Amino acid sequence: MRCPKCGSGDSRVVDSRDAVNAVRRRRLCENCGNRFTTYERVETLRPLVVKRDGTREEWNRTKLLEGVRIACTKRPISSARIEELVDEVEAQVAGSGRQEILTTEIGLAVMRRLRHLDEVAYIRFASVYLRFRDVNGFLEEVERVKRPGRPADDQLQLDL
């Protein structure tokens, strides 16, 4: 495992933990002292992703991670927490045993988790995935999130 900072191949594992579907390792570069994290994943079959226009593409973790990261920009959410969220969605999708999955279903699975994590990130993500037709639809969603003690999850419930 090469150090992302200096490129040296000499690193040692200082911590190892089980994450969802993966083993997370903290490594220390013997050359420059840089600490970095690696994930070891079990290769599992993922369903094909069916896009809105009906075309299909391979499951793309990086793309999903990027989408969540953008939604979480400048929010108090750690990279590790974002990775964890994507891990959970991936595990759920892989565990569904389905051959195909809609992008909207993936979006909703992410939203369900983001909702509990950060309202702003949730609204940002939702505005992309739900493709609000107009500003009213967007505001309704904002109001729904802000309403205390009434989880809107029932409307987002999905059987993945």
Amino acid at 22: A
37 binds Zn ion (CB under 5 A): no
Residues 6+ apart with CB under 8 A from 56: 48, 49, 50, 100
21 binds Zn ion (CB under 5 A): no
Quick one: 2 or 56, whose CB is closer to Zn ion? 2
5 binds Zn ion (CB under 5 A): yes
* DSSP structure class, residue 85: H
Binding mask 71-90 for Zn ion (x = CB under 5 A): --------------------
Asked if 96 contacts 141 with a C-beta cutoff of 8 angstroms, the reply is no
Asked if 23 contacts 39 with a C-beta cutoff of 8 angstroms, the reply is yes
Amino acid at 122: Y
- Min CB(147)–Zn ion separation in Å: 49
6 binds Zn ion (CB under 5 A): yes
Residues within the interface to Zn ion (CB under 5 A): 3, 5-6, 8, 29, 31-32, 34
